[in-house]
Structure 1
Amino acid sequence: MQFGIFSVGDVTPDPTTGYTPSEGERIQAMLAIALKAEEVGLDVFATGEHHNPPFVPSSPTTMLGWIAARTERIVLSTATTLITTNDPVKIAEDFAMLQHVAAGRVDLMLGRGNMAPVYPWFGQDIQQGIPLAIENYDLLHRLWREREVDWQGRFRTPLEGFTTTPWPLDGIPPIVWHGSIRSPEIAEQAAYYGNGFFHNNIFWPIEFVERIVGLYRQRFEERGHGRADQAIVGLGGQAFMRPNSQDAVEEFRPYFDVAPVYGHGPSLEEYMAQTPLAVGSPQQVIERYAGMRDHVGDYQRQLFLMDHAGLPLSTVLEQIEILGEEVVPVLRKEMARDRPEHVPGAPTHESRKQAAGLE
């Protein structure tokens, strides 16, 4: 099972000091976080994609290419690649190039994006978000598998005899996860292609998580990709830890209250009760996340959001150390315990090379 970090790249004032990092400081912080994630033995670093303040990661492949040059093992992913407002042809080229640069340590998580102003900036309509996601991925899927593509759709100009360049590394397309916060249509799309489904469940009670992951597993089996419990599932998560749980709550509360992704809403206690947010001791975080498979079954990827809401970089790096050294080793053992042999691990470029008989 893969464990890692995902970042939304928000630029938020530190509510305890009033200090607001510059965009350049925030970008450098994300790079430092990625290097720290590899240092402590995590498996994945994923960056979001945003084109509006207060977020900075507008060019994920640029950032991931830099990280690729300075790491050896960690998988480089997006936490969202906007399949709706990006041209599928450009996605195909950019991620195939990154795949070569990173020697296969690349995958991407496709999402619709939920910020309405971004759509018209890129010539699209948010009301067409689901049709765009479906049509654009259909084209992307073909571009990585067919040397000459003839294609016509609703949302971009036709293609005639088009060949993407570079061709995917070893002829194996980058691994795709379909990311969703709430949309069953995206779970259906992931199942249709037999791709991974990443439910960013940080906003949702476990009952909703069970339903949407259950839908994906059911459709995965009905589409003939394997048994329902062999479907490829990833989940989001959040944690903040100190040896004493009350210290963790006291330190994290002011950041929670202003967080751009959920601040000014439910209280910290309500949010912890209703969502995967775990603020407390490392053991409490272990117990919360070890229990996830009781609700969604054995799954393949768990990513944590830890660097948002104005938290200082030094604090975030401390949190990643705790996660990598105290929490994840225990979770690896817990998640491996009684895991059926027929349930696959997270797909990687190397595992797909082996399956294709290329090694």
Structure 2
Amino acid sequence: MQFGVFTVGDVTTDPTTGRVPPEGERIKAMVAIARKAEEVGLDVFATGEHHNPPFVPSSPTTMLGYIAARTERLLLSTATTLITTNDPVKIAEDFAMLQHLADGRVDLMLGRGNTGPVYPWFGKDIRAGIPLAIENYALLHRLWREDVVDWKGRYRTPLQSFTSTPRPLDDVPPFVWHGSIRSPEIAEQAAYYGDGFFANHIFWPKEHTQRMVALYRERYAHYGHGSAEQAIVGLGGQVFMRRNSQDAVREFRPYFDNAPVYGHGPSLEEFSAETPLTVGSPQQVIDRTLGFREYVGDYQRQLFLLDHAGLPLKTVLEQLDLLGEEVVPVLRREFAARRAPGVPDAPTHAALVAARAAEGTGEPAEGTGEPAASGVSR
């Protein structure tokens, strides 16, 4: 199972000091967080994509390319790449380039984002959000798998004898997660292609996440990619820790109360009861996270949100120390002990290359114990 962190890249006033970090400082803080994540033994760093204040990560592949040059093992991803407003051709090119630069340490999460005005900024109609997501990914999927593409659709100009360059590393495209908070159509899309499904999970009650993941698993099996238990699932999570839970609540409360997303709404206690937000001790985070398996089944990737709402970098790095030293080692051990037989590992480039090599032989891909087709999109 993979563990990591994701950032939304917000520039928010620290409510305890009144300080607002400059954009450049916030961008470099995100790089520092990624490097710290690798240092403490996490597997994944993912950045969001936003094109409006108070957010700064408007060019995820630029940031991830920079981080790739300063890390050795960390898997680099997005949370989210806007499939609706980005040109599929540019996504194909950018992420194939990043694949080569990072020696395969790349995957991506596709989504529609949560900012309505972004659609007209890029010449799109928000009312076509779902059809755009479906059509654009159908083209992206082909661009990575066919050397020459002829294509005609509804939302972009046609392509004639087009070749996307560079070609994917080892002729294996980056693994794709389809991220969604509320749209069953996206769970269906992920299932159709045999891709991963990432449930945002940080704003909704567990029953909603349970329904979305169950739908994806059912449809994954329907399309013949494997059993429902073999579907590739990721979850978001949101934590703030101190060794003493009362200290955690006291320190985090002003950040929660003034956060741009949920500030001035439900209380910290109400929000923690209704969503996966966990504010407390490392043991409380361990117990809460292990509980996710009870309603989504065995899953492959867990990402935590740590750096938002104006929290200073020093505090975020302290959170990463706790996560890497006290939380993730226990979670790795416990999730592995509880995992049912036949559940695949999280996809990596090396595993996908091995699966491609074994395709058609009926033999398990080396090192996975799973059929070669498991986790490989159609």
Fold similarity call, TM over 0.5 = yes
Cα distance between partner residues in 2 of 1:21 and 1:40: 25
- 1:338 Cα deviation (Å)? 3.0
Q: Match for 2:10: what amino acid? A: D
CA offsets 1:40-67 (integer angstroms, 9 cap, x no match): 0000000000000000000000000000
Matched, 1:87 2:69: no
Matched residue of 2:35: which SS?
helix
Matched residue of 2:237: which SS?
coil
Match of 1:276 in 2: 276
Q: Match for 2:218: what amino acid? A: Q
Cα distance between partner residues in 2 of 1:189 and 1:171: 23
Cα distance between partner residues in 1 of 2:14 and 2:116: 27
Q: Match for 1:94: what amino acid? A: D
Cα distance between partner residues in 2 of 1:146 and 1:61: 23
Match of 1:202 in 2: 202
Show the 5 A alignment for 1:135-174.
135-174=135-174
Q: Match for 2:277: what amino acid? A: L
Match of 1:230 in 2: 230
Show the 5 A alignment for 1:180-199.
180-199=180-199
Show the 5 A alignment for 1:293-304.
293-304=293-304
Unaligned runs of 5+ in 2: 359-365, 367-378
Matched residue of 1:202: which SS?
coil
Q: Match for 2:67: what amino acid? A: I
Match of 1:313 in 2: 313
Give RMSD over aligned pairs.
0.9
Corresponding pairs, count: 359
- 1:353 Cα deviation (Å)? 1.1
Matched residue of 1:77: which SS?
strand
- 1:356 Cα deviation (Å)? 1.9
Match of 1:251 in 2: 251
- 1:31 Cα deviation (Å)? 0.3
Q: Match for 2:61: what amino acid? A: T
Matched residue of 2:357: which SS?
coil
CA offsets 1:77-113 (integer angstroms, 9 cap, x no match): 0010000000000000000000000000000000011
CA offsets 1:281-330 (integer angstroms, 9 cap, x no match): 00000000011101100000000000000000000000011001100000
CA offsets 1:147-183 (integer angstroms, 9 cap, x no match): 1111111110000110000000000001100000111
- 1:114 Cα deviation (Å)? 1.7
- 1:231 Cα deviation (Å)? 0.2
Cα distance between partner residues in 2 of 1:165 and 1:207: 43
Cα distance between partner residues in 2 of 1:172 and 1:261: 37
Q: Match for 2:65: what amino acid? A: G
Q: Match for 1:46: what amino acid? A: A
Cα distance between partner residues in 2 of 1:145 and 1:130: 23
- 1:18 Cα deviation (Å)? 0.1
Match of 2:97 in 1: 97
Q: Match for 2:155: what amino acid? A: F
Matched, 1:325 2:335: no
Match of 1:350 in 2: 350
Matched, 1:287 2:287: yes
Cα distance between partner residues in 2 of 1:84 and 1:42: 30
- 1:261 Cα deviation (Å)? 2.4
- 1:341 Cα deviation (Å)? 2.9
CA offsets 1:13-33 (integer angstroms, 9 cap, x no match): 000000000000000100000
Displacement over 6 Å in runs of 4+:
none
